[in-house]
Structure 1
Amino acid sequence: MNNLNVTELGQGGGLMGLPTDYTPPSRFVRATYLKHFAYKPNNVIDAMQAADHVLNNVDIPVGVARSTDGKNTVSDYTQWINLKDLKNNRMKITNYANRTNFIEIDLNQIFKSSKSKVWQIDKLPFPKNDLTAELLK
């Protein structure tokens, strides 16, 4: 173009040709690619951040993957995300309505207490950051 040879679109072309739809196999391929080529995290915080970024890339927003059954339209979507820090035994969980905020649970304390509590995923007590004390009541 105007005697300029344009050969690349820019960085990030490694996914060209890979499936990009929202079917489970395509999302699995995308997540596998991202996990494989992302830089290896240096610590637990970086690892949790990397895992969240991979999951962001396969997250399904409401309305993107939908089908119609007669008069009813049904939309598949990512209802919740759960990350677990295996080194420190902490869990992070979020739901669709609070996708950018996580509630954390210290599983070591929960297991020691032998107590349990149940919440529906869409009724988690956001914006609390740490749910451990609430679970120990």
Structure 2
Amino acid sequence: MTHEEIDTTLGLLALLSIIIALILQVVFGQITVRRLRKNPETKHKLGMEYVSGMDIVGVAQALSWPKSLTFRSSKRTFSLLPNAEMLYKHTTKMDRFIGRLFYWTLIEAVVCVLIWIAVTSIN
């Protein structure tokens, strides 16, 4: 493969990953996070929201990381992540699957973009 073919392939992979991650963010936000926002028990335990929509990423992150890490951080009085125990209590297996799929697709998209930038900057 030539350098241009590798560059094009990485760019297309990054673009496809971003599109899939955005679709999954909308689906996860509309299905799961909206329901968690309406629940008075979970409404104020969804973590910090710096930018609109960041709580969707935070909930997906809390559902994607190992339970030992997220449960430990949720026991603190101040935590940037949502309360993981509460999330597992109020989400279904399908919610967790969509959240994990969204989070790891988002991470993969970011890694693809960073690799693509590094490869294109070499030339």
Superposition TM-score tier, normalisation by shorter sequence: under 0.3
Point out the structure with the larger helix share.
Answer: 2
Q: Which of the pair has the greater relative contact order for Cα pairs under 8 Å at 6+ separation? A: 2
Bigger radius of gyration:
1
User: Could you state the TM-score of these two structures normalised by the residue count of structure 1?
Assistant: 0.24
